[in-house]
Amino acid sequence: MPETIYSLAGKKVYVAGHRGMVGSAIVRRLASEGCEILTASRGDADLTRQAEVEAWMEKNRPDAVFLAAAKVGGILANDTYPADFLYDNLILEANIIEAAHTVGVEKLMFLGSSCIYPKFADQPIVEESLLTGLLEPTNEWYAIAKIAGIKLCQAYRKQHGSDFISAMPTNLYGPGDNFDLKSSHVMPALIRKAHEAKTGHLPDITVWGTGTPRREFLHVDDCADACVHLMKTYSAETHVNVGSGEDVTILELAELVSKVVGFQGSISHDLTKPDGTPRKLMSAAKLRALGWSPRIGLEQGITDAYRAFLKGEYLERKRGDAA
Ligand code: GDP
């Protein structure tokens, strides 16, 4: 195990975005770190308003921050609401990072996404391929905001010596996911479609696009564990990929989800919907070298996500509300 260079024990740790899938998983994971967890509801501070974020930070003075707040959504939501995805994400990360610097936060982790990488980056995608090519147009608005967040952390490190780091999770799924079919990502969409087809005795489920794009998936509890690990053991300018290191085609995913859910019908395609980027597998080499690897396999993870869906532990959002 790598050495702990930043202990969270006894610290005041602010989780921005605690109601979202990632933020709530980080809150669950932090319970065993012996820290005091701080959260801010929208009534306490609207993260898109600089004065409100500054006032909240001044009053609560966290020692460490996990910046997991974001306006998130799947391929269609990104494509439909570009202004919201770019503006909201830029403004909230800028507000939190600047306020964290002002009140002297010791350590901050910014969370991004694998969509920051060029559409045709060599696979598996290494951290160094950032800004080496054009982005996937369907989610470039979100991606540009997330790239700006990485750069903000690097800039504050360079100019002020701030210990601000960035982690880039792959496609995440699990408890707290968004199961709204218009704004969700593929995993929760397929879980819901398979469940509704099974209970409604429908002959098939519809997969958007050709089913040939490849995607990597990580259970959100694994992601939270990796983030806490990095917070304690990593301090450098380069962002770190957080993934499983393995990918599947969308069709393979649909088949696995059908198996877990117990749906025995067929799979059809809606070719009017976009495929998006053909493949998005991140290199897990850096994270492995830093002493972390995932524990939850894909089938086990989907079983857990389906359990959470059945228990109603999910967020029904209209169009990618701030996580
Ligand atoms: P992406 O990883 O940014 O492209 O976002 P998504 O998770 O939304 O989509 C991943 C892939 O799954 C794309 O090729 C989608 O076309 C495909 N897909 C298949 N069925 C669905 C669905 O019901 N919902 C979503 N969001 N994507 C789907």
pLDDT at 5 over 60: yes
What pTM was estimated for this model as a whole?
0.94
Does ligand 1 have an atom closer than 6 angstroms to the CB of 273? yes
Neighbours of 155 (CB within 10 A): 15
pLDDT at 173 over 80: yes
60 labelled ligand-binding: no
Tens-place pLDDT, residues 27-55: 999 999 999 999 999 999 999 999 999 99
Is residue 112 within 8 Å of residue 144, measured between CB atoms? no
Name the pLDDT band for 320 (thresholds 50, 70, 90): very low
pLDDT at 88 over 60: yes
Instruction: Report CA(215)–ligand 1 centroid distance (Å).
Output: 9
Closest Cα to atom 1 of ligand 1: 75
Instruction: Report CA(279)–ligand 1 centroid distance (Å).
Output: 12
Does ligand 1 have an atom closer than 6 angstroms to the CB of 139? yes
Per the annotation, the verdict on 142 as an active-site residue is yes
From 14, 81, 117, 142, the catalytic residue: 142
The highest-level CATH class for domain 12-310 is: alpha beta
Name the pLDDT band for 315 (thresholds 50, 70, 90): low
Q: Where are the domains of the chain?
A: 12-310
Pick the atom of ligand 1 nearest to 193's CA: 23
Name the pLDDT band for 318 (thresholds 50, 70, 90): very low
Name the pLDDT band for 105 (thresholds 50, 70, 90): very high
Instruction: Report CA(32)–ligand 1 centroid distance (Å).
Output: 34
pLDDT at 69 over 60: yes
Nearby residues of 238 by Cβ (< 8 Å), 6 or more positions away: 127, 128, 286
Name the pLDDT band for 316 (thresholds 50, 70, 90): low
Tens-place pLDDT, residues 229-252: 999 999 999 999 999 999 999 999
112 labelled ligand-binding: yes
Residue 70 burial class via C-beta count within 10 angstroms: exposed 0-12, middle 13-18, buried 19 and up: buried
Q: Pairing state of beta strands 64-67 and 12-16? A: parallel
